[in-house]
Structure 1
Amino acid sequence: MKQKKIPMRMCLGCQEMRPKKELIRVVKNKENEISLDFNGKKPGRGAYLCKSVSCFEKARKGRKLEKAFETSIDEEIYELLKKELEAGND
């Protein structure tokens, strides 16, 4: 039996390749709203982060999300994403 291919994605924080299911997708939709997608099903442009706050902080410090989405991101959005990430880890 043929083994199923596991899709790999790179975390923006630690720059490690991991299976897609282990990462959280950050999505920018057509209205330029940025949100976290824990299921990986929301429509829009996606970037991936590990489920740790430290990787989120590294991506924030290096402005990785802004580069991935080619837009500026307000501090309020970063704070909302951080709260959502912390709540999602519980």
Structure 2
Amino acid sequence: MKERKVPLRKCVVSGEMNPKGTMVRIVRSKEGVVSIDPSGKMPGRGAYVTIEPTIVQKARDKQLFDRVLKAKVEDSFYQELMDYVSHQKARQELFANDK
């Protein structure tokens, strides 16, 4: 059986290319609302960040999403993203041990 190609995306913080499944998409809608896109299919301008709390903290410190998405991103969004990434990281580690 032929192996399928794994889609890669570039992290806006670290600049590394990683499989799409190990990253989270941040999207800005036409109205300028910035949100987390767990499905990766919401319409709008998107940016990917690695599921790693230290990477998200770097983005917060440098206010990277303000520049990348050309929108004002509140601190509450960065906290929401940090919580989401921490939860996803814990899930990955938990289910990696089951395999």
TM-score under structure 2 normalisation? 0.74
- Kindly name which structure, 1 or 2, has the bigger radius of gyration based on alpha carbons: 2
1:1-20 map, 5 Å? 4-20=4-20
Distance, in Å, in 2 between the alignment partners of 1:73 and 1:44 is 15
Q: Partner letter of residue 51 of structure 2? A: K
Moved more, 2-11 or 16-25: 2-11
Q: Partner letter of residue 61 of structure 1? A: D
Task: Find the counterpart in structure 1 of residue 68 from structure 2.
Answer: 68
Moved more, 45-54 or 61-70: 61-70
Q: Partner letter of residue 21 of structure 1? A: G
**Residue segments in structure 1 that go unaligned for 5+ positions in a row:** none
Task: Find the counterpart in structure 2 of residue 28 from structure 1.
Answer: 28
Select the structure with the greater relative contact order (CA < 8 A; seq sep ≥ 6).
1
1:36-47 map, 5 Å? 36-47=36-47
1:86 partner SS:
helix
Q: Partner letter of residue 79 of structure 2? A: E
Q: Which has the higher helix share?
A: 2
Distance, in Å, in 1 between the alignment partners of 2:60 and 2:33 is 17
Q: Partner letter of residue 32 of structure 1? A: G
How many percent identity over aligned positions? 32
CA contact 2:34–2:71 (8 Å) conserved in 1: no
TM-score under structure 1 normalisation? 0.80
The alignment's C-alpha RMSD in Å is: 2.0
Q: Return the offset for 1:21.
A: 2.3
Q: Partner letter of residue 88 of structure 1? A: Q
Task: Find the counterpart in structure 2 of residue 56 from structure 1.
Answer: 56
